[in-house]
Amino acid sequence: MKRVAFKMQLLPEYAEEYQKRHDAIWPELVELLHQSGISDYYIFHDPDTHELFATYELADNHKADKLAQEPVMKKWWAYMKDIMETHEDDSPVSKSLEEVFAMK
């Protein structure tokens, strides 16, 4: 199991909408993430900077590198593109973070 952390940028006026959309996350997207080997997925919001900080655990036999080709993932990105920074393919602009400390 590998821990992954990254950050994304929410557009300032959309914190409430971002929360609303995730409160009603599509079951088929959750299932796809699980099937891809992703678990314990958390997203945090910094209301001062509107940065989103996300973490999840990735199974050793994961298929997360194929998510960008999945129709449900593409549909979710298109749904979210109006409230956060995205690339031309609608995927969120994200910056990977390096783990420097872990306490178990």
Positions marked catalytic: 22
Query: Which residues on neighbouring strands pair with residue 8, listed in sequence order?
Result: 52, 94
Q: 71: Cβ–Cβ under 8 A, 6 or more apart, which residues?
A: none
Task: Residue 3: name the closest of 57, 47, 72, 54 by CA.
Answer: 57
**Which two structure tokens, joined as six digits, stand for 85?**
């920074």
- Which helix (H) or strand (E) segment holds residue 9: the answer is strand 2-9
